């Protein structure tokens, strides 16, 4: 079985569910992490360091040390341009942003903060970095997160203070190097190791100035205007306006709250922000599947209110949601409710590569993660467009989006970005705002909702059943799974079909997938260890329906157990 759902999933949070914000913020300043406890060290996952101040996992000490480590890293890479810093609406984001500012300014880094002293979506920070670097370099060079020393002179980079869709108790701190996307592990390993070294040294080696000084010395940048005014170069806002598409946008109390109102205003769209509240307890959020408050716009439970709103409010054609830092999108349609992220990715790819972007080079490739739906493979095949399958993590799309060789990069967890109309880079980080707007472009240009378009794709390619389940695994088993070789799989069939591939490297770029993917003609499964819990995740899909999917899942567990034994 999948998750055991909480009986209150999809219902509004109650007073007992809410975080005590003053206590959360006081803990940020008052709790001292134990540098020898792995749970209290700086650890960069795919999207930076995350944790709660209540567990001594995200405290002032961590952020002062991590910021100094970022300063040391940029120095070692010859990065000496401005640093753009943005924050989301989590209760710990402003304290962490303030701590970072004190260290950056003390180290003579030229820091750019939001000119409205407001919240900044992740894509707006990526957009700002790329814009600054396009001015300083006539061509985009290199796809890695480091271009070696001197070539980074004058280059800008950035920090986003966000734990994305994580619960209100959490803080997050993310570094984006000059390529504008999430830092690769070659950067984050160095930064985390240095940060933990500084914490062990009692922060000796960390420079800081008082906040008032830091704020005074920081420069301001119009994140909102630069981003919002540039949108017509990536999404067909004229078509949306002319078709009179009526949009309900829900920022879910996140960083895009002021952006959506400005998008409506500046581009004259029939767009209403259905919830303008920002509240670090997120008391207006329905509980997620496990009873936690999580601003996950791809979760049917978390999006229960917006789904209900669209059903009850006939004056809107489509509704969209974003998570707290707006790097994810959720699409709600009249005919189908909240779309499965895989379904929308397939529709978006079909639309963009099927004629909506004629100026894109014919060689522009479609990027997908290897746990995204095979519907995308079938769409790519029908369009005769090259498809590249990469490991889980948006960082794998960065080089291709940067040099324009990827028209689109998307992951099954509802994070994606794509190129401008002219085939040049828009963002190299996930952009939930342009994906939400693209849903309205599709409706405007085709007269069909994205879910109606998906039904047409199903009629053409079959109807895949897709699910993710968790299975228990010890730390040792997880390590073994991450390091499997294809030979460890002895099975020759899966759910009655011949196995066509056993992968431990992504076919698109030969990078290790940290697990296993097994495919047959009409089904596949992928098994990956969880980074946070003692489980491994099994993603599986079948074009033969739910019963066959269940069989694939059962056999997947047996295949993995046999390989681990």
Q: Which residues are catalytic?
A: 164
- At 215, phi and psi to the nearest 5? -65, -40
Could you give the 3-state DSSP secondary structure of residue 364? coil
Cα 101–Cα 107–Cα 112 angle in degrees, nearest 5: 45
Helix runs in 201-246, H state only? 211-217, 223-230, 237-243
83-87 vs 219-221, strand pairing mode: unpaired
Q: Which residues contact 58 (CB under 8 A, 6 or more apart)?
A: 28, 49, 50, 51, 52, 92, 96, 170, 171, 172, 173
| Nearest residue to 206 (alpha-carbon basis) of 197, 198, 194, 215 | 198
154 vs 80: CA distance, rounded Å? 5
Q: Which residues contact 105 (CB under 8 A, 6 or more apart)?
A: 111, 209, 213, 214, 217, 218
| Residue 219 contacts residue 82 (beta carbons within 8 Å) | yes
114 vs 220: CA distance, rounded Å? 6
555 vs 261: CA distance, rounded Å? 49
Count helices and strands in the chain by DSSP H and E runs:
17, 23
């Amino acid at each position: 079985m999948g998750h055991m759902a909480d009986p209150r999933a999809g219902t509004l949070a109650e007073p007992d569910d809410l975080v005590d914000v003053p206590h959360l913020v006081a803990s940020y300043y008052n709790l001292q992490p134990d540098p020898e406890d792995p749970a209290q060290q700086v650890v960069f996952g795919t999207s930076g360091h995350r944790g709660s101040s209540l567990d001594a996992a995200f405290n002032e000490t961590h952020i002062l040390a991590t910021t100094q480590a970022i300063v040391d890293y940029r120095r070692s890479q010859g990065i000496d341009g401005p640093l753009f810093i943005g924050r989301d609406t989590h209760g710990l984001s402003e304290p962490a942003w303030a701590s970072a500012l004190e260290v950056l300014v003390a180290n003579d880094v030229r820091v750019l903060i939001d000119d409205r002293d407001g919240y900044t979506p992740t894509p707006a920070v990526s957009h700002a970095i790329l814009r600054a670097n396009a001015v300083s370099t006539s061509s985009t060079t290199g796809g890695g997160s480091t271009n070696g020393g001197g070539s980074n002179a004058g280059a800008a980079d950035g920090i986003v203070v966000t734990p994305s869709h994580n619960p209100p108790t959490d803080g997050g701190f993310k570094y984006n190097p000059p390529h504008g996307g999430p830092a690769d592990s070659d950067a984050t390993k160095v930064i985390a190791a240095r940060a933990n070294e500084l914490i062990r040294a009692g922060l000796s080696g960390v420079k800081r100035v008082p906040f008032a000084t830091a704020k005074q010395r920081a420069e301001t940048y119009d994140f909102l205007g630069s981003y919002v005014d540039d949108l017509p170069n990536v999404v067909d806002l004229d078509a949306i306006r002319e078709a009179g598409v009526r949009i309900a946008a829900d920022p879910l109390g996140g960083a895009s709250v002021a952006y959506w109102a400005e998008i409506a205003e500046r581009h004259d769209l029939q767009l209403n922000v259905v919830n303008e509240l920002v509240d670090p307890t997120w008391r207006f959020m329905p509980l997620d599947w496990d009873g936690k408050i999580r601003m996950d716009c791809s979760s049917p439970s978390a999006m229960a209110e917006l789904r209900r709103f669209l059903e009850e409010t006939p004056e809107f054609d489509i509704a969209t949601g974003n998570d707290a830092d707006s790097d994810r999108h959720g699409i709600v349609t009249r005919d189908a409710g909240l779309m499965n992220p895989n379904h929308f990715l397939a529709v978006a790819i079909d639309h963009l590569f099927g004629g909506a972007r004629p100026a894109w080079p014919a060689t522009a490739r479609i990027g997908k993660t290897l746990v995204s739906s095979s519907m995308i493979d079938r769409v790519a095949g029908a369009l005769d467009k090259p498809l590249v399958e990469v490991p889980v993590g948006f960082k794998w799309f960065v080089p291709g989006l940067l040099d324009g060789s990827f028209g689109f990069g998307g992951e099954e967890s509802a994070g994606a970005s794509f190129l401008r109309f002219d085939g040049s880079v828009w963002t190299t980080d996930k952009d939930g705002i342009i994906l939400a707007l693209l849903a309205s472009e599709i409706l405007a240009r085709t007269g069909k909702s994205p879910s109606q378009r998906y039904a047409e794709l199903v009629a053409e390619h079959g109807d895949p059943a897709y699910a993710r389940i968790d299975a228990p695994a010890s730390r040792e088993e997880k390590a073994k799974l991450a390091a499997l070789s294809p030979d460890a799989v002895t099975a020759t069939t899966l759910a009655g079909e011949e196995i066509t591939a056993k992968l431990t490297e992504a076919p698109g770029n030969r990078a290790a997938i940290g697990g296993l993917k097994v495919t047959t003609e009409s089904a596949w499964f992928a098994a990956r260890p969880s980074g946070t819990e003692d489980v491994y995740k099994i993603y599986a899909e079948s074009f033969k329906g739910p019963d066959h999917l269940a069989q694939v899942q059962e056999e997947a567990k047996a295949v993995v157990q046999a390989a681990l034994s």
